[in-house]
Chains A and B, each alone.
Chain A
Amino acid sequence: MTRIVIDPVTRIEGHLRIEAEVQDGRVSDAWSSGTMFRGIELILRNRDPRDAWVFAQRICGVCTTVHALASVRSVENALGITIPDNARLIRDLIAGTLLVQDHVIHFYHLHALDWVDITSALKADPGATSTLAQSISTWPKSSKTYFKGVQDRLKAFVNTGQLGLFANGYWGHPAYKLPPEANLLAVAHYLEALDWQRDFIRIHAVLGGKNPHPQSYLVGGMATALNPDNESTINAERLGLLTQLVQSGQDFVSQVYLPDVLAIASFYKDWAAIGSGLGNYFAYGDYPTDVQNSPATYFLPGGLILNRNLSTVGTIDQHQVAEYVTHSWYSYNEGDKAGLHPWKGETQPNYTGPQPPYEFLNIDEKYSWLKSPRYNGQAVEVGPLARMLLAYAQGKPNVQSLVNGALAQLKVNTSALFSTLGRVAARAIEAQVMVNQLPVWLAQLEDNMGRGDLSIHDNTYWDPGTWPNESFGFGFHEAPRGSLAHWIHIQNGQIANYQAVVPTTWNAGPRDAQGQRGAYESALIGTPVANPEQPVEILRTVHSFDPCLACSVHVVDPKGREYANVHVM
């Protein structure tokens, strides 16, 4: 038995450590640990709830905006605010844009190097690469000359001897199966995606002022001024730019991202039987298509699937969410076996791990800064695969046709979805579903403006003097990595308690009081490891979840330090 440690797990957001036991060439057990803690929710206490989104957004700069959205929704939920339709549309557009961009970046820049051997691309025949490219897509950058240029550029880079970010990769590992032509194609698209993501995200700059960390959210709506007759607001010129950027997203996802994923997947079909994990899938659902915010109108529906049974979809009640700290570096007043609903969330940092520098964690005790969220006591997986399964099982035609098309192209059945490869494919399918919807929301925004509806904010409860003495709010969002929710307790106009339960906490959390593994830990079991010194297979399954660790570590401490609010100008 060999104990493998991967720390840092790279090509993710944040600080993740994986320890795994390998027996007979396969992972027999695994432990997932978050190794960084900031305490942002503690810092949020006693502050103005209208400021909370600015703070909460800094939980993560990769999935930027998602915490801002969950935060304003939590306050609006607490105060009973209904936002104007334009604000709903702008939020849908910002969030949907992030989802698409983030999925593309994840595939090409964070995940692809687990499947793509860039050194093999040096041996590719550019003509054969061109033939391959044209057989899977109508994307215009597909000539032999183009791929020859990319290959020459790569050769020149390698010949400098300074490999930079690509030095010490697991190149030549036997788990890499792509032919040289497919590797060259992927390298070309790695570079193209780097340019594309930069351009596409300008949608955030138009509607949010900047990216990362857009700055146009407000409790009660958005600060994105609309006026077709002013040069400094969202006007016809800006709408034209948005239309063009949305189109570039549709082109890139449908002609590059989705075809690439399916082409690469066809060489890795064995990974459709690896990395299944828990088999329980959860989503709140999101992207309301009307103002009233009723779950039935969600563009991405929520629900619960247990034991991979797609014939039964359960409904979600946020009151059934609880967090455990049995194996997390916190303690609960009523004992570390308890599970607490976030409104009653309590956490006292209690580091009991080894003092740095250390070699191994005490996996039998506490071993992570992440808590263990459970739904009705069940460990569940969240994310694009969960959402696509829920939409598929509930008969959403746009999702069904894309999923069935992918399954048919790869000649596999639905059981292939419950896997490492299934997560990768579901993410690409979800990007396609979402990018197809962006023009719909944009057109609705244009229609509203055309009718003279320029409303973006409901001022009724802006003044804290209009608020009740005490209120509780729940704000959710289906972020790129999965189900996110913020719980807020407001007292006398200030934040009394704030708690975020985020996608990567669901997926990367440690074991709970019953010893149930989290989604990563569960999915890693059975993963093959050809060479423990180069555990690229473990990275494949971990990366298939798109980890985001900064998001997932958080704390609320009802007995936290008080602070004096300072105003020095």
Chain B
Amino acid sequence: MDERAEVLKDGIWSALDRRGVSRRNFLRFCSVMAGALALPQRYAPVIAKALEQTHRPALVWLEFQDCAGNTESALRASHPSFADIVLNLLSWNYHETVMAPAGKAAEKSLHDTVVQEQGQYIAVVEGSVPTADNGVYCTIGGRAAMDIAKEVCSSAYATIAVGTCASFGGIPAAAGGVTGAVSIGQAVPGLRLINLSACPMNGANLAATIVHWLTFKELPATDNLNRPLFAHGDRIHDACPRRAHYDAGQFVQEWGDEGHRQGWCLYKMGCKGPSTNYNCPRVQWNDSTNWPIGVGHGCVGCAQPQFWDTMTPFYHTLPNVNGFGVELTAEEIGIGVVATVAGLSAAHAIGAGVKRQLEKPRAEKEPSAPVDASHPLETAPTNSQQVPQHNASSQEETPL
């Protein structure tokens, strides 16, 4: 029995059940998707209903100048049973990294989709498209990437660029590159396009985009860079769990210092959260286990266009961060808190060496004050000016 007949006869629940997807898991998926799309929970049944009625649409995944990091990220997307849902609700017809056939047989899978599902399928693009020298920097089956992109994306219902390379050119397009790498949007203008940027993009956002399309029969609303608002509507800095430390002037000053061990703000270590729009803090990674700032390293701004050039050097403090909320005096409050917290930690007596480290900075608190006056809320040094200050701070300031 073909799938449509099967669904019509027994309904989506029986059909899903036969494929090992329980009703509970399916509803949970819809609920999670509603959350990912920032929709009210009452939309979960709407999503479920939309998916019930949907014939498995085709999807092809093209890889050009890529590292397959977005492919891996899609495989990591977690609950509930992302792989099950994608395998069962979409017909995932072409994806070099994971598909069974190779060579001509693989090309047949792509060709069949383009011909038979004309205007109906989703084209996912991973990696940039090289335009220099007649496209010799990326060929597949002897064809230039540009040639394949034009044919496949132009015939798709919509194109989803996954990762910053496909969205904005990414690392092959960074300064120093010689391959003429461009985004899929530049390579094939005029597409119905969604850019899921970040390096890699979060698989949860891909799932949410697809479900949005299946549910509402249209692509999600985007910003002026074609990025979905549900994923790129907020600044990392504004949703960061460490934001309170920023406002309180509690900054990590040196890797592994006491502030670092207390989960303080990484702004002074070069964090690019203030300049990056992404739902990283909310969705997090790997089944919401953690995210880069959560582990103790700054954001590198990977969801932004040209971040390889505009956000580097990564460890230099961002200039011109707009202040709001708590004002500059918070810095002084922060220093007081430093001393208090240090005292509390010392009371745990976890080791003589640790104690020594904790005691030392308190004695050296005074000299740090002038350097702290370079709080971002007050001054906006250029990046080059900031370098010596930053380096000076790691030597002169308290290693709190």
Contacts and interface: CB of A to CB of B under 8 A. Distances in A.
Interface residues of B, number: 123
Contacts of A36: 64-65, 137-139
Contacts, number: 381
Given A230-B263, A456-B255, A48 B315 contact: yes
Nearest to B392: A463
A207 B295 contact: yes
A48 B96 contact: no
Interface of A: 5-15, 35-40, 42-48, 50-51, 54-55, 58-62, 64, 105, 109-110, 113, 118, 149-150, 152-153, 156-157, 159-162, 164-170, 194-195, 197-199, 201-202, 204-213, 215-218, 220-221, 223-233, 241, 329, 349, 351, 353-359, 369, 451-457, 459, 462-465, 533-535, 539, 550, 557, 560-561, 563-569
A164 B87 contact: yes
Contacts of B92: 164-165
Contacts of B284: 205, 210
B345 A37 contact: no
Nearest to B2: A161
Given A162-B56, A207-B295, A43 B142 contact: no
A13 B68 CA distance: 6
B394 interface: yes
B297 A232 contact: no
A10 B102 contact: yes
Given A165-B93, A351-B133, A560-B176, A218 B255 contact: yes
B100 A8 contact: no
A163 to B, nearest CB: 8
B97 A13 contact: yes
B320 interface: yes
A216 B348 CA distance: 27
A164 B93 contact: yes
Contacts of A557: 178
Interface of B: 1-3, 6, 15, 18-20, 56, 58, 63-73, 75-78, 81, 83, 87-88, 90-93, 95-109, 112, 130, 133-144, 147, 170-172, 174-179, 181, 199-200, 241-242, 254-256, 260-263, 275, 284-287, 289-297, 300, 306, 308-310, 312-315, 318-320, 345, 348, 350-354, 382-384, 391, 394-395
B137 A37 contact: yes
Contact of A47 (B140, B179, B241, B313): B313
Contact of A168 (B100, B140, B263, B309): B100
Contacts of B242: 232
B304 to A, nearest CB: 10
Nearest to A557: B178
Contacts of B76: 198, 201, 211-212
Given A169-B105, A202-B286, A225-B263, A35 B140 contact: yes
26 contacts: A6-B102, A10-B97, A13-B67, A39-B172, A43-B175, A48-B314, A50-B315, A60-B67, A61-B72, A61-B200, A159-B2, A159-B3, A162-B58, A168-B109, A169-B100, A194-B83, A198-B78, A201-B286, A211-B76, A225-B256, A227-B261, A241-B289, A457-B255, A459-B254, A567-B319, A567-B384
A451 B349 CA distance: 10
Given A9-B103, A233-B296, A43 B308 contact: yes
B314 A54 contact: yes
Contact of B139 (A15, A38, A202): A15
Contact of A160 (B56, B109, B293): B56
Contact of B352 (A43, A162, A221, A452): A452
Given A164-B87, A198-B78, A534-B105, A459 B72 contact: no
Contact of B260 (A45, A225, A231): A225
Contacts of B98: 10-11, 109-110, 165
Contact of B97 (A12, A167, A205, A465): A12
B313 A51 contact: yes
B171 A42 contact: no
A223 B295 contact: yes
Given A351-B136, A357-B143, A566-B310, A169 B101 contact: yes
A566 B285 CA distance: 30
Contacts of B72: 61-62, 64, 211-212
A54 B382 CA distance: 23
Contact of A229 (B87, B109, B348): B348
